[in-house]
Amino acid sequence: MLKLLKTIVSRPSGAIGLGLTVFHILMALCAPWIAPFDPTAQNADAILIAPSAQHWMGTDTLGRDVFSRVLHGGRLAIAVTFSAAVLATLWGGFAGIFFGTVGGRVDEYSMRIVDAFLSMPWLLFLLLIISIGGAGPVTIIPTLGFFYGVAVLRVIRGAAMQVAARDFVTAAKARGEALWPILSREMFPNLSDILLVEGAMRWSWMLLAFSSLSFLGFGATPPTPDWGLMVAQERGLLSTAPWGVFWPCVALSSLIIGINLLADAVGKALGLDRATAIAV
For 205-231, what is each residue's pLDDT tens digit? 999 999 988 898 888 888 889 999 999
Mean pLDDT computed over every residue of the chain = 88
Asked whether the whole model's pTM tops 0.85, one would answer yes
CA distances from 174 to 7, 171, 179, 182 (A): 38, 5, 12, 11
CA distances from 86 to 7, 80, 102, 212, 237 (A): 24, 10, 24, 20, 37
| Single-letter residue type at 182 | I
Q: What is the pLDDT of residues 143-160, one digit of tens each?
A: 999 989 998 999 999 999
Predicted local distance difference test score (pLDDT) of residue 275 = 44
- Cα 174 from Cα 180, distance rounded (Å): 15
Residues 6+ apart with CB under 8 A from 272: 193, 194, 197
Q: What is the pLDDT of residues 227-248, one digit of tens each?
A: 999 999 999 888 899 999 999 9
pLDDT at 68 over 80: yes
CB atoms within 10 A of CB 194: 24
Ramachandran class of 254: left when φ > 0, alpha when ψ lies in -120 to 50, beta otherwise: alpha
What average pLDDT does the segment 91-104 reach?
A: 91
- Cα 231 from Cα 216, distance rounded (Å): 10
Domains of the chain plus CATH, in order, are 2-277 (1.10.3720.10)
- Cα 70 from Cα 228, distance rounded (Å): 10
Predicted local distance difference test score (pLDDT) of residue 128 = 85
**Half-sphere exposure (Cβ direction) of 188: Cα atoms closer than 13 Å:** 15
- Cα 107 from Cα 98, distance rounded (Å): 9
Predicted local distance difference test score (pLDDT) of residue 273 = 56
Axis-axis angle for helices 243-269, 227-234 (nearest 10)? 150
- Cα 8 from Cα 123, distance rounded (Å): 34
% of residues, the chain, pLDDT over 90: 50
DSSP bridge partners of 65? 59
- Cα 280 from Cα 264, distance rounded (Å): 16
- Cα 128 from Cα 130, distance rounded (Å): 6
